[in-house]
A and B are shown apart, each in its own frame.
Chain A
Amino acid sequence: MEAATTSASALRAQIVATEQELSKLKEQLAKIEEKETSVNEIPVEPVTSKWPLSQEEYTRYGRQMIVPSIGIQGQLRLKNAKVLIIGAGGLGCPAAAYLAGAGVGTLGIVDGDTVELSNLHRQILHTTARVGMKKVDSAISYLSSLNPNPTYTPHPTHLTPSNAPSILAPYDVVLDCTDNPASRYLISDTCVLLRKPLVSASALRTEGQLIVLNHPALPAGNELGGPCYRCVFPKPPPVESVVSCGDGGVLGPVVGVMGVLQAAEAVRLICGGGLGGSGVEGRKEGNRLLIFGQNGEPQFRSLKMRGRRKGCFACSGEGGLGLESLSSGSLDYVLFCGLSAPVNILHDDERILPRDYDEVKKKGGEHLLVDVREKVQFDICSIEGSINVPFSRIQRGEGLGDGLGEDERPVYVVCRLGNDSQVVVRKLKDAGLERVVGDIRGGLRAWRKEVDASWPEY
């Protein structure tokens, strides 16, 4: 068995290595081919042809080129455009696929993460065989096989204030496909400083939001420019209100829709020809925020948003944001948005290790295990005999519910990771419920490690 596991993992490693090698080879080939073409095609009029595109390109892009809003001019603009996609996740994957397919000339992808199994339901460029591979490499491997024409530039790193300006500088349009407020502020600030229009989207559960920012990308201080992220959200949300896809969940098609919409907006910006920040296009349509909710009524709502904010820290020209302050690291975006410290509000004697709780359970001592995960998670898997009182219910002040509040049995509380359970223990104790012993340290994740290896980790 062990030998089988070892050889399987060796094979997996070999597959990853081979995939990486393959993507490198493809990239080299693409570069050589590009050089060949550029040698043959300088200037835009190819020496060998009187047409600006190759026959392969006319065929490949024909279906979109005959759309009146694209045309040959739009296609050539796409070919000359450089688009940066920040985040090769649920938004970035579909966005990149459509932009590559559409024939954007240069596509840069920024991501410092590696592919995980839990990404695959929505991050459509990655594959099961590429789990463990860098996301940028996995993405480019897919994109090159989709369309070898564009130049793909991998940026296998997380965006930071010091590297953001140099990474963004060569591009014409930026897509924010990230998943946290700190990077959203950083990207928006950098786009304002470098005068790049920004297509920003986000998604969670069954909802998504899309907004085009800093378009037209006029210099800071020009109030005809499009608003930036700070104009719309001058202050970051409290850390405890920020829910990640890992905690809140997300539906693949929902985040996919938002990524596809980002690609559509980018194509519109590029083909519209207003990228130089000439100023008109953005104003005509006004500033809009599109919200999508699968269960919404209506499912799509286009909301009218404000323009640039007077005194905005980033785009008013008087807020104090500058390239130097950005690159020098004097702006700490993570600090600005707050750090989510692990909850630590219980005393040691109010916390029990999973293995110690298991002993309590095995000894058959009368007790009650309250699982405070939301019902949808409790339904996936639960410890035998535990009862479900969702965290949200306790927050509504409804206590442990009928029949449970009156009984004398000691109460243990458990949740997924051991944070909410602490909050609940404190709350119940403060409410005078003395039979509450404490929580299970580390939650069900620790339970899996210490006690039950079969516990489904979702």
Chain B
Amino acid sequence: MARDVFCDINAAPEAMQSLSGATSSFFPQYSPTNLNNSSGPDNITQIARYGIRGEHFDSGGVHASGGLEMLFSDERKHKLSVPPRDNQGKAVTVGWLVDYLCEEVMKDSRKEMFVLDGHVRPGILVLINDADWELEGESSYALQPNDNILFVSTLHGG
């Protein structure tokens, strides 16, 4: 059944930033490895896990709720592993995560239901560790290990 889509982000330590083989088109410097997910609660869908020099790191999780999970194959909770740096060597931010979710995780063709005109669409709140991302620097917030990112679509019914 559908659940909150939340992102727990467990970013890798900075030391892990050197790169290995390229297979992912989106982040060619990281190669997905098929590792069994041994930690985390049930119902977490492992979306991607990237190994770097034989090491890997987990994300906490990404949650979507308020109907948003429908865009993510009806899964509310996504556990991700993210690289410590993007392909330009910059710290990986929530903005990066939004692009990543949109490009790599979201199967639905209605991308504009998540990202509109380059921004998270109106009506979606982004929460970083249960706080409005506007309190945390919005899209420029650099992901930290075990961060928990929640995307909530506002409801209007009553």
Contacts and interface: CB of A to CB of B under 8 A. Distances in A.
Given A297-B4, A396-B108, A208 B130 contact: no
A244 B125 contact: no
Given A179-B157, A289-B132, A395-B108, 6 more contacts: A90-B157, A178-B158, A255-B157, A258-B158, A305-B132, A397-B109
A204 to B, nearest CB: 4
Contact of A255 (B107, B122, B123, B158): B158
Tell me whether chain B's interface is mostly helix, strand or loop, or mixed. loop
Interface in B3-39: 3-4
B157 A233 contact: no
A456 interface: no
Contact residue range for chain A? 35 or more
A306 B66 contact: no
Contact of B158 (A179, A302, A392): A179
Nearest to A206: B2
Interface in B98-127: 107-110, 112-113, 116, 121-125, 127
Nearest to B131: A304
B140 to A, nearest CB: 16
Contact of A243 (B76, B130, B157, B158): B157
Contacts of B156: 179-181, 184, 202, 204, 242-244
B158 A304 contact: no
A439 interface: no
Interface string B41-68: 1010000000000000000000001110
Tell me whether chain A's interface is mostly helix, strand or loop, or mixed. mixed
B67 A304 contact: no
Contacts of B132: 289, 303-306
Interface of B: 1-4, 41, 43, 65-67, 70, 73-74, 76-77, 107-110, 112-113, 116, 121-125, 127, 130-132, 134-135, 150, 152-158
Given A236-B123, A238-B121, A289-B125, A295 B3 contact: yes
A364 interface: no
B107 A397 contact: yes
A89 B157 CA distance: 10
Interface of A: 87, 89-92, 177-181, 184, 201-205, 207-209, 232-238, 240-245, 248, 250, 255, 258, 289, 291, 293, 295-297, 301-306, 392, 395-397
B76 to A, nearest CB: 8
Contacts of A242: 123, 156
A228 to B, nearest CB: 14
Contacts of A91: 158
B1 A295 contact: yes
A255 to B, nearest CB: 7
18 contacts: A178-B158, A184-B156, A202-B155, A203-B155, A209-B155, A233-B122, A233-B154, A236-B122, A236-B123, A240-B113, A289-B125, A293-B4, A293-B65, A296-B76, A304-B130, A304-B135, A395-B110, A396-B109
Contact of B123 (A87, A233, A244, A293): A233
Given A202-B157, A255-B157, A255-B158, A243 B108 contact: no
Pairs A-B, 8 closest by C-beta atoms: A237-B123, A235-B122, A245-B157, A204-B157, A202-B155, A304-B131, A179-B158, A396-B107
Contacts of B153: 237, 241
Nearest to B3: A295
Most buried by A among B70, B107, B127, B158: B158
A302 B1 contact: no
A238 B107 contact: no
B36 to A, nearest CB: 22
Contacts of B66: 204, 207, 209, 291
Nearest to A201: B158
Most buried by B among A178, A250, A297: A297
